[in-house]
Amino acid sequence: MHHGHACRQPRAIQDPLPIPLLLTIAIQQLLAYRRQTIITVSGMMVGVTVVLVTLSLFGGLLDSFTRKILNVAPHVTMTAVSVRGVGTELLLDVPPHSAIELARNVEPLERLRVPNVMKLLREVEQALGNRLTAASPYLSTQVLAAYGTGNATLPVVGVIPKREAMMSDLTKYLRSGSVARLEATHDGMLIGAKAASDLGVDFGDRLQLVSATGDVVPVRVVGVYRLGMGESDRAAFVNLRLAQTLDRALPSEATGIGFQLRNVDDAPAAALEIEAITGRKTDTWQQTNADAISIFVLRQMLVYAVVGFVIVICGFGVANILITIVLEKRRDIAVMRSFGLSRSRLFRMYLLQGLVIAITGSILGCAIGAVAIGLMGTMPVGAGVAAVETRTLQMAWSPWYFVAAVASTLVAGAVASIAPARTAASLVPADVLRGGHP
């Protein structure tokens, strides 16, 4: 009458196995496959190292570019473009039939000028007060520079030397000459190192500048600078009045005004305020350097793609070893199930194996990555990277890089463990012990 008791299965364990015990079993299984485990952990370690070095290198380049821009370029730039639109003021009182004819005579955008520039500058200085550290008007033009038998196109920026020195700290970047010489010499020129090299000129040399209107103006090199920015080092500074002569502009006209702020984060608000005061379009340093920044955005996308690819490869490594363990430990799994180990506990055990590999690889990868970042930061570079000249590779240090590397690796390890863990949990003990298929 009680024959059913003979076929009764062992009673399942009611209380869950503690995590430490599950972890111990998981580690023992991994140690049973020592070689495969070492290879997988090493792959994870290399992956974490690659992620850290890649993020640090890109972050260092972006930080270096940003620091350089903020040191040598205006935080906010007021341009000659009216906030009401180019040419709007000229067309207000023109009959419709004359609009087309007048439009032909409107100067192109790059030749627009700010009239009464110093008056506007003083108004902005008064309004912004101690939020400003420097302000300098400038006039940009382009000339043909001739020296000996050579010549080259040369962008020229007319400035007020004292104001520009406060704006971009020119004195710090001069290889020869001085800002005082430029101020004292009406036909003087501070030339960028790359432009000087292209023309074959040096301190004290005289050359000819041919303007777009055909005017020929002799100038003398009173200094050579190196800002460390490719385009800037291929240009030259002259006195504002000389640039106005080259461009046939009035003494009160300029291309725009650059402003340096005490707090760079105040740039967007300051730009709006300057626009309201002057009626002229005003850009922040991000807008002025949008082309260069867009290159970094593209590189950032490529970097993230590389990082994602590396993490996926790490996940495949974890999945591979766990699948091997599950397939070769089928009988052990069946025995554990027969003794009452539930499917959920079995699932957690193999999930723990994936996390153990990921955590071990992450710790080793972080240690090696930190050393690699430090060593790469001492590596000399020849011509700089990303249009910014540097003597060594610029590697950024941030705890968030390590957090991102570890977190992404743990997620990859956990996700890669799911399929093997489900396979192990779905095994039917009776089928496995009889030699059948699950």
Residues in contact with 393: Cβ distance below 8 Å, sequence separation at least 6, in sequence order: 57, 60, 376, 377, 379, 381, 385
Same domain, 321 and 250: no
Q: Is residue 5 part of a domain?
A: no
Distance, C-alpha 335 to centroid of its chain? 55
165 and 254 part of one domain: yes
Same domain, yes or no: 232 and 344: no
User: Is the pLDDT at 104 greater than 50, yes or no?
Assistant: no
Distance between CA atoms of residues 385 and 136, nearest Å = 29
Does residue 109 share a domain with residue 36? Answer: no
Q: Provide the 3-class DSSP secondary structure of residue 3.
A: helix
Claim to verify: residue 145 and residue 277 sit in the same structural domain: yes
Structural domain contains residue 179: yes
Domain-located, residue 156: yes
> Which residue would you say has higher pLDDT here, 298 or 141?
141
pLDDT category at 15 given cuts 50, 70, 90 is: very low
- Do residues 410 and 369 share a domain? yes
Model's pTM, two decimal places? Answer: 0.69
Which residue would you say has higher pLDDT here, 111 or 140? 140
Contact assessment for residue 236 and residue 154, using Cβ atoms and an 8 Å cutoff:
yes
Segments in 257-342 forming alpha helices (H):
267-278, 285-288, 290-328, 330-338
Q: Are residues 160 and 208 in the same domain?
A: yes
pLDDT tens-digit readout, 158-206? 999 999 888 877 888 899 998 899 999 999 999 999 999 999 999 999 9
Evaluated on CA atoms 60, 66, 67, 68, the torsion sign reads positive
Residue 357 neighbours by CB under 8 Å, 6+ apart: 30, 37, 40, 41, 44, 318, 321, 413
Joined tokens for residue 360: 């071990």
Do 90 and 177 belong to one domain?
yes
pLDDT at 2: 47
Range of 253's domain? Answer: 76-284
Q: Between 409 and 85, where is the model more confident?
A: 409
Whether 31 and 110 map to the same domain: the answer is no
> Which of 228, 252, 284 corresponds to the end of one domain?
284
Measured CA to CA, the distance from residue 71 to residue 77 in angstroms comes to: 14
Domain contains 2: no
Q: Grade residue 85 by pLDDT with cuts at 50, 70 and 90.
A: low
Are 266 and 179 members of one domain? yes
In a domain, 438, yes or no: no
* Same domain, residue pair 279 and 421: no
Instruction: Please say which residue of 284, 311, 335 terminates a domain.
Output: 284
Q: Is 394 left (phi over 0), alpha (psi -120 to 50) or beta?
A: beta
Residue 9 lies in a domain: no
Same domain, yes or no, for 55 and 99?
A: no
Which of these three, 230, 252, 284, is where a domain ends? Answer: 284
Whether 3 is in a domain gets the answer no
**pLDDT band of 107, cuts 50, 70, 90:** very low
Any domain includes 182: yes
User: Number of structural domains, the chain?
Assistant: 2
**Cβ atoms of 91 and 99 closer than 8 Å:** yes
What is the DSSP code string of 396-411? ---HHHHHHHHHHHHH
Q: How far apart are CA 154 and CA 373, in angstroms?
A: 39
State the chain's mean pLDDT as an integer.
82
Cβ(346)–Cβ(424) below 8 Å: yes
Q: What is the mean pLDDT of residues 82-88?
A: 60
Assess whether pLDDT exceeds 60 at residue 105.
no
